Amino acid sequence: MEVILNKTIDNLGFEGDIVNVKPGYARNFLIPKKMAMSVTNQNMARLQQEKEAIKARLDREKKEAEALSAKLNGVTIQIARRVGEENRLFGSVTSGDIAAALADSGITVDRKAILLNDPIKTIGDSKIGIRVGYQMTALITVQVVPETAGD
């Protein structure tokens, strides 16, 4: 089933794109959540009228994503955690902890944009991806270090 996307959806397409999806996905998810509309003559005419506004919005989103990506790429944050025997962490480092550490360094990122499959449970460096928008990802380094007695 062909639909016109009302908003950019990761791994599917950008706003204004006409994409082919399974009918159930369109009927039960995309259309009810107003993320897409079915391809009809009326909707195609509306898409043509809004083409310039959509292009301007996508260009703005791309510039914002590139700026955030440039700001994030290569950033290293350090998170101190209590450790036990053999440098094993008490607990773990989650995407919320990473978002808070980034916020402390002046970069605001939604914790849901942090691509962390499992919480970090070891001391050392980890490369973590962060979705910055416009289907772009930035890489940061998270250093988990033992907490000292003064912390």
> Count of residues for the chain?
151
Q: For residues 131 and 147, is the Cβ–Cβ distance under 8 A?
A: no
Q: For residues 117 and 56, what is the distance between their CA atoms, to the nearest angstrom?
A: 34
Same CATH fold, 71-146 and 2-63?
A: no
Q: Going by C-beta distance under 8 Å and a sequence separation of 6 or more, which residues neighbour residue 125?
A: 141, 142, 143, 144
Residue 7: closest CA among 26, 30, 39:
30
Q: Across the chain, how many H-helices and E-strands are there?
A: 3, 9
**Topology given in CATH for the domain delimited by 2-63:** Ribosomal Protein L9; domain 1 (3.40.5)
Distance, C-alpha 104 to centroid of its chain: 19
Counting residues of the chain whose pLDDT is more than 90, the rounded percentage is 62
For residue 110, the surrounding DSSP H or E stretch is none
The model's pLDDT over 63-76, given as tens digits with 9 standing for 90+, comes to 998 998 999 988 99
Mean pLDDT of 22-39: 95
Q: For residues 142 and 136, what is the distance between their CA atoms, to the nearest angstrom?
A: 19
Q: Where are the domains of the chain?
A: 2-63, 71-146
The model's pLDDT over 95-151, given as tens digits with 9 standing for 90+, comes to 999 999 999 988 899 999 999 989 998 899 999 999 988 788 899 999 999 987 655
Output the CATH code of domain 71-146: 3.10.430.100
